[in-house]
Structure 1
């Protein structure tokens, strides 16, 4: 049996290592995107609450004199409860909205990097898996191993898409003048701001859905990793048992596999 230049022993040891450490790694990524999805959905609901407030809001002609007074015509109690968004008479854009936009951009950058890395890793894994087709003892788990790679590869594409979607949501929000004066001017005119908020909320919400899909794909690998790891472990154990005791040079007397 020939398994490539590295030899069957090294390839199987590497496969055993991957099935151990990457399985644990994926347990994290089966949960982490769900946590991100919850956070994104909270942002989306806060944006919707602000947008829902606008159609009935009338811009105040006599704002409260205190710079720390809440803007009666702009604030939404739901948005304040969800994300802490509070418009103050003497302030500019609420710091919570500034933080949200920065967070969306940071998430976009993170997902883009993760997606690129994972896609490259899956291409390499696909190539290595081809060499394992030569190992008869792994024949029954090759479907599982390739399904893992396919799931992760699709998750990589989803991460790249999530990055694109979140970047666009941040762009949408950057086009809204969130200062009290800016919002009041919009409310007294074309009322474009709420339409931008509705659109941004929809895009953020879709990114949250994609995060859930990514997590589902990775979670689907749990049993497949377990089955694959067990079989590789059995094959490696059998190979080690066939290996004689160390020779005079300290290396194992390994019978030929060609």
Structure 2
């Protein structure tokens, strides 16, 4: 049977593990909340797209009713949407600035989510190797399941983030198919009405990405108790 020294990690290793447990737990407190805010913002953008799609699915295309460039378009603006989102279609103008901003913000979210997922996946590769080295120490045997579950949750969260980025970019591809100038939209409404179909599909991808962001936050939040238990044991061993 191994002696006590072999069963307990050396002090230098305990110090490193304590540092990781302390700061990674704090880091995860943030990432158990931030995706929920992102999910809520994405849902709001999805609602805006659906409102426009609902409006454009039924409304009859009108004509430019005013020579004043900043007059609102009666047919293209969805009821209540201007106040909620700021998206305003104006006569003689092009794509509303708010729609352009929506697409840019979603592009930034896709980029940040992809980068965050890639970083987390790489970090979990290293964490898996470190956790594997702890198998030799029986003083931690009953918590190795907890530590590996933390890693598994974070790894799954990383995969979800990568998928979120894919969904958002494909949604932007769909939105790129629409010419949001009033003249082009009215021409579409008199013909194929493709714009509402693209909007509905893009909003559905936003919705799924939002759900996955919430799921990612849930996985990370689930680690809180496990981190607390694991660090408590490490500190007990340090005190011996």
**TM-score grouping bracket, smaller chain normalisation:** over 0.9
What is the RMSD computed on CA atoms of the aligned residues? 1.3
Q: Which moved more, 1:98-107 or 1:33-42?
A: 98-107
Q: What is residue 97 of structure 2 aligned with on the other side?
A: 95
Trace 1:20-59 onto structure 2 (pairs within 5 A): 20-59=22-61
Q: What is residue 141 of structure 2 aligned with on the other side?
A: 139
TM-score by length of 1: 0.88
Return the offset for 1:60: 1.4
Which stretches of structure 1, 4 residues or longer, exceed 3 Å deviation after superposition?
Answer: none
Match 2:199 to one of 197, 200, 203? 197
Equivalent-residue separation in structure 2 for 1:168 and 1:65 (angstroms): 37
Q: What is residue 188 of structure 1 aligned with on the other side?
A: 190
- Name structure 1 gaps, 5 residues minimum: 239-258
Residues 37 and 211, structure 1, Cα contact 8 Å, conserved in 2: yes
SS of residue in 2 equivalent to 1:66: coil
Q: Could you list the per-position Cα deviations for residues 202-249 of structure 1 after superposition, in whole angstroms to 9, with x for gaps in the alignment?
A: 0001100000000000000010111111011111221xxxxxxxxxxx
SS of residue in 2 equivalent to 1:70: coil
**How many residues in Structure 1 have an aligned counterpart in Structure 2?**
235
Q: Could you list the per-position Cα deviations for residues 12-42 of structure 1 after superposition, in whole angstroms to 9, with x for gaps in the alignment?
A: 1111001100001000000000000000000
Between structure 1 and structure 2, the one with the greater Rg is 1
Trace 1:1-258 onto structure 2 (pairs within 5 A): 1=5, 8-238=10-240
Equivalent-residue separation in structure 2 for 1:95 and 1:229 (angstroms): 50
Return the offset for 1:90: 2.7
Equivalent-residue separation in structure 2 for 1:199 and 1:63 (angstroms): 31
